[in-house]
Amino acid sequence: MKKLINDPRAVVEESLEGFGLAHGELVEVHRDPLYVTRVGGAVPGKVGLVSGGGSGHEPLHAGYVGRGMLDAAVPGPVFTSPTPDQIIPASRAADGGVGVVLIVKNYTGDVLNFETAAELCEAEGIEVRTVLVNDDVAVEDSLYTAGRRGVAGTVLVEKIAGAAAERGDALDAVAAIAARVVANVRSMGLALRPCTVPHAGRPSFELGEDEIEIGIGIHGEPGRRRVGLEQADALAGHLLDPILGDLGLDTGERALLFVNGMGGTPLSELYIVFRRACELLAERGVTVERSLVGNYTTALEMQGCSVTLLRLDNELTALWDAPVNTPALRWGE
């Protein structure tokens, strides 16, 4: 195992220490328990947004803390849920007096721990709404979930719900916007090579030199099937076709197309996939109105990518375009 680390058991803490030093104008890293907040704390009168999950998916989630997106993020160990003891103080710190929306990826540990934290926050008098993200069309159940997994579509949920909160929407309205994004976003990913979890010291699964895993999760879970090595255009079709079939986009509709890197794939290759996805959507009469390409929801150093489609309307487009200023996503400021 070759990694730029010291102690495998200290990867998350040391990484977040560096993250805080690099982005001190935007975020504050809290220790014991570990969570991240916007500099200056909660905004009075604004709905707070909190998300989190296992580390190893950077910049998700801490990279999206800041104006126009999250108020707090809760990182767990690599590929492992954070605990209620972390989620509760993060939620307190995000509460501006009008409640908090928890954005939770659909993994069993995350769901249980965020549910527990939500109940305890409610007992303290903090109003909480929870939105579950389950955008992965690859499999209904996996090693980590009951039902579909939450993957790269989480970034779009956090951005659009964050913009709704920033413009002053009430608690139920912010939760409804987040749920609307969840209902209209779908993703699917593939792996060319697996990743290695630092404390495990070995690849999370095995792939032959001429094999590609279609439908993987962001923890390296197996997907729908394994195929032989193919060109990028064919692979883009393998990802996009199930998304279109599930989402049911019709001719004349508009979409946000998001090609996400899994951590170890060059940006040049992601643009090749994006190019083919655009061609396939144009053939179906779908307009790509907004785009995002890059490493936004990773799986350590896994080689591969995912494709995400979000059906857009005028309101969702305006919320996507709204100003955002976080370590990993910023425009309009």
Residue 57 falls in the annotated catalytic set: yes
The dihedral built from the CA positions of residue 309, 241, 219 and 132, taken in this order, carries a sign that is positive
* Torsion sign (Cα): 23, 24, 26, 31: positive
Q: Report how far residue 204's alpha carbon sits from residue 208's, in angstroms, rounded to the nearest whole number.
A: 13
Nearest to 164 by CA among 93, 60, 68: 68
Single out the residue of 226, 201, 214, 213 nearest to residue 300, CA to CA: 201
Q: CA separation (Å) from 53 to 13, 75, 156?
A: 14, 5, 16
Entry field: residues in the chain? 333
Instruction: Check if 238 is active-site.
Output: no
Which entry of 23, 30, 57, 61 is annotated as an active-site residue? Answer: 57
> How far apart are alpha carbons 231 and 222 in whole angstroms?
21
Q: Are strands 128-133 and 100-105 parallel, antiparallel or unpaired?
A: parallel
How many distinct helices (H) and strands (E) make up the chain? 8, 14
**Helix spans in the chain (H):** 11-22, 84-94, 108-124, 153-166, 171-183, 232-247, 267-283, 314-321
Instruction: Report the C-alpha gap between 288 and 322 in whole angstroms.
Output: 18
Catalytic residue among 23, 30, 61, 219, which? 219
Beta strand 287-294 with 35-38 is unpaired
User: Quick check: helix, strand or coil at residue 13?
Assistant: helix
Q: Are residues 213 and 190 in contact, defined by beta-carbon separation less than 8 angstroms?
A: yes
Q: Tell me how far apart the alpha carbons of residues 48 and 166 are, in angstroms, rounded to a whole number.
A: 9
- Residues of 46-67 as b/e, b for ≥16 C-beta within 10 angstroms? bbbbbbbbbbbbbbbbbbbbbb
- Give the residue numbers marked as catalytic: 57, 219
